[in-house]
């Protein structure tokens, strides 16, 4: 037991406009609607965490805020922040689902525990295997000329990994963008494709085979979350590795997905799994089945990005990189007290004790939504 007890539990609903609308097979997104959790101890420490849901994917920010504010708060006030697993077990027993809210609590507890121990979160969950992770940017604009322009500047920044969001327009639009980028940048560009469930299952194999000539590194979630048999069939049929994102949230789903071999790669997201340690469980299942993992994210601020970066640092292998680009290249502002360290084409894992990043109070106040006040 430590000498610290959690005495305050503050929930901040935030809404940050994006620089450009991003389109996906499951719809358009123009804002980051997120929930920041601030835990304070009776010894004066502050820990931060983030729930960042996407309504067509996981849930809503309003539901996460209510889950935290009404249901989880009584089980965290008075708790010892170092006792992370006991606290998360208590919450698991009283609240089904809501992985984003649970992710926020776990991150804030680990932030506090890390500050108390003098260790970064990556070190609290296993150790730092690496200090940097290659950064992937998602190309998701209906106006491809704008995306090409943006890629030019990101290329100058050192970004070499690009994931084309696909399936929100005609098939030939997706082929044209892939062909154009492969011609412009040759083999130096690492191209990936994410359909966000946007392909009709009956025609998915033919359309993916069409784009294999442009050598995508992987194709992500071509069909709907529930279409497991179709996803397994696609994975068997095409040469390009298939990634499951929407189909695999947590360790239980990862186990079934690995058993049925519905994909070659799982996208890890702390907001899908319910936190960093649940993602490590997904990664362990994947490793035992010969399935690769990848660092995905939701529409989130640099608080969740930093938590995701600690997960990436602690994983045994992360060859395909991560996509924590939102606060640097998508949001109009970065909420953090210093810019999230995505530079030179890499995410740099924060090194300070705990999470290593926190919101700037003025920026948080300005972008706070008053739904809960």
DSSP string, 70-134: IIIHHHHTT--TT-HHHHHHHHHHH--S-HHHHHHHHHHHHHHHHHHHT-BHHHHTT--S-SEEE
Residue 219 Cβ vs Mg ion, minimum distance, rounded to whole Å: 11
Measuring CA to CA, which residue among 40, 45, 44, 99 is closest to residue 250? Answer: 99
- Closer to Mg ion by Cβ: residue 38 or 240: 240
Residue 38 Cβ vs Mg ion, minimum distance, rounded to whole Å: 29
Count of residues touching Mg ion (by CB under 5 A): 3
Write the CA distances from 65 to 53, 178, 179, integer angstroms: 10, 39, 43
Residue 297 Cβ vs Mg ion, minimum distance, rounded to whole Å: 9
Q: How many CB atoms lie within 10 A of CB 42?
A: 12
- Closer to Mg ion by Cβ: residue 272 or 367: 272
Contact 302, 357 (CB under 8 A): yes
- Closer to Mg ion by Cβ: residue 56 or 201: 56
d(CA 82, CA 115): 10
Segment contacting Mg ion by CB under 5 A, of 79-87, 149-157, 190-198, 223-231 = 190-198
Segment contacting Mg ion by CB under 5 A, of 101-109, 238-246, 273-281, 302-310 = 238-246
Residue 341 Cβ vs Mg ion, minimum distance, rounded to whole Å: 23
Return the residue of 194, 227, 292, 300 that touches Mg ion, per CB under 5 A: 194
Segment contacting Mg ion by CB under 5 A, of 2-10, 101-109, 116-124, 220-228 = 220-228
Q: Which two tokens stand for residue 218?
A: 């992987």
- Closer to Mg ion by Cβ: residue 100 or 220: 220
Closest residue to Mg ion using C-beta atoms: 245
d(CA 139, CA 325): 11
Residue with tokens 């519905």: 262
Beginning with the edge strand found earlier in the chain, give each strand of the sheet holding 46-51 in spatial order: 6-24, 27-41, 46-51
Residue 221 Cβ vs Mg ion, minimum distance, rounded to whole Å: 5
Write the CA distances from 218 to 240, 313, 360, integer angstroms: 6, 22, 37
Residue 214 per-residue DSSP state: G
Q: Which two tokens stand for residue 74?
A: 């009584």
Residue 63 Cβ vs Mg ion, minimum distance, rounded to whole Å: 21
- Closer to Mg ion by Cβ: residue 6 or 326: 326
Residue 333 Cβ vs Mg ion, minimum distance, rounded to whole Å: 24
Segment contacting Mg ion by CB under 5 A, of 62-70, 86-94, 176-184, 218-226 = 218-226
Segment contacting Mg ion by CB under 5 A, of 48-56, 85-93, 194-202, 358-366 = 194-202
Return the residue of 106, 111, 147, 245 that touches Mg ion, per CB under 5 A: 245
Which spans of this chain sit near Mg ion (rule: CB under 5 A)? 194, 220, 245
């Amino acid at each position: 037991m430590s000498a610290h007890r959690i005495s305050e539990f503050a929930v901040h609903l935030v809404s940050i406009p994006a620089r450009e609308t991003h389109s996906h097979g499951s719809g358009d997104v123009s804002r980051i609607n997120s929930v920041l959790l601030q835990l304070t101890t009776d010894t004066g420490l502050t820990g931060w965490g983030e729930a960042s849901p996407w309504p067509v994917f996981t849930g809503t920010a309003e539901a996460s805020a209510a889950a935290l504010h009404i249901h989880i708060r009584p089980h965290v006030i008075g708790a010892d922040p170092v006792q992370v697993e006991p606290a998360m077990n208590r919450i698991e027993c009283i609240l089904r689902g809501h992985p984003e809210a649970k992710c926020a609590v776990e991150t804030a507890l680990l932030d506090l525990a890390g500050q108390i121990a003098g260790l970064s979160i990556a070190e609290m969950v296993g150790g730092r295997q690496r200090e940097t992770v290659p950064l992937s940017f998602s190309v998701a604009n209906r106006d491809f000329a704008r995306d090409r322009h943006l890629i030019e500047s990101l290329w100058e920044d050192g970004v070499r990994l690009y994931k084309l969001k696909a399936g929100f327009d005609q098939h030939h639009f997706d082929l044209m963008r892939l062909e154009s980028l492969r011609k412009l940048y040759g083999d130096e560009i690492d191209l990936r494709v994410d359909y966000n469930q946007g392909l009709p299952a009956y025609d998915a194999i033919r359309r993916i085979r069409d784009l294999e000539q442009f050598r995508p590194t992987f194709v992500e979630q071509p069909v709907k979350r529930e279409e497991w048999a179709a996803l397994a069939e696609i994975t068997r049929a095409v040469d390009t590795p298939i990634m499951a994102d929407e189909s695999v949230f947590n360790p239980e789903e990862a186990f079934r997905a690995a058993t049925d071999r519905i994909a070659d790669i799982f996208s890890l997201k702390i907001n899908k799994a319910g936190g960093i340690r649940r993602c490590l469980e997904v990664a362990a299942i994947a490793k035992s089945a010969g399935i690769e993992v990848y660092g995905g994210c939701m529409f989130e601020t640099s608080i969740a990005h930093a938590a995701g970066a600690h997960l990436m640092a602690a994983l045994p292998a992360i060859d395909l990189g991560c996509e924590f680009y939102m606060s640097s290249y998508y949001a109009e502002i970065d909420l953090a007290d210093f810019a999230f360290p995505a530079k030179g084409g890499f995410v740099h894992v924060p090194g300070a004790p705990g999470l290593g990043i926190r919101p700037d109070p003025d920026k948080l106040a300005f972008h706070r939504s008053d739904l809960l006040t």
